[in-house]
Amino acid sequence: MKIAIGADHAGYRLKDVIIPFIESLGHQVTDYGCSCADSVDYPDYALQVCQQVVSGDADKGILICGTGIGMSIAANKVPGIRCALVHDLFSAKATREHNDTNVLALGERVIGPGVAEEIVKIWLETEFSQGVRHQNRINKVQSIEDRFTVHP
């Protein structure tokens, strides 16, 4: 898969650990920054990564900030994005099976690199269940988004 990844100044260290790990799993990674501890704004990076996902240039996106919260909030503002903030293995699997999430958010200040790698591996390897009840719920989420999306 093609994976777009981005982080702010509180997440770039974990990003730099996660990138070679994802590559070692056989995926292609594009890094949208940032790459140092200078203070930046997480929505700028969330937007870049999510644009790659909704355009189809990336299959999935991964976003990292201090808590993962800001990144997940920003990502879920982008139409077509279903982003989950995940810090445990059960949720990593469940959010692919049930929510068909296309973006994963992580908090560098919350979990260590070992857990983050396991979460990323499970999230990338788990398929959507295709369950009718789950698809219906995703459709309902989409209909909420459609209701508030202004079309020019």
Q: Look up residue 105 and give its DSSP letter.
A: E
Rounded distance, CA 130 to CA 138, Å?
Answer: 11
H-assigned helices in the chain:
12-24, 42-55, 69-75, 89-99, 113-125, 132-148
Q: Is 60 exposed, middle or buried (0-12, 13-18, 19+ CB in 10 A)?
A: buried
Choose one: 47-55, 62-70, 91-99, 118-126; the region binding ligand RB5 (CB under 6 A): 62-70
- Least separation in angstroms between residue 136's CB and ligand RB5 is 31
Window 92-131: contact mask with ligand RB5 (x via CB under 6 A): ----------------------------------------
If binding is defined by CB under 6 A, does position 8 make contact with ligand RB5? yes
Residues annotated within a binding site for D-ribulose 5-phosphate: 8-9, 66-70, 99, 109, 133, 137
Residues annotated within a binding site: 8-9, 66-70, 99, 109, 133, 137
If binding is defined by CB under 6 A, does position 6 make contact with ligand RB5? no
Give catalytic status of residue 50 as yes or no: no
Please report where in the chains the tokens 């508030």 appear, as a residue. Answer: 148
Rounded distance, CA 43 to CA 25, Å?
Answer: 28
Question: What's at 53, amino acid-wise?
Answer: V
Give catalytic status of residue 65 as yes or no: yes
Query: What is the binding site for ligand RB5 (CB under 6 A)?
Result: 8, 10, 42, 65-67, 69-70
Active site residues: 65, 98
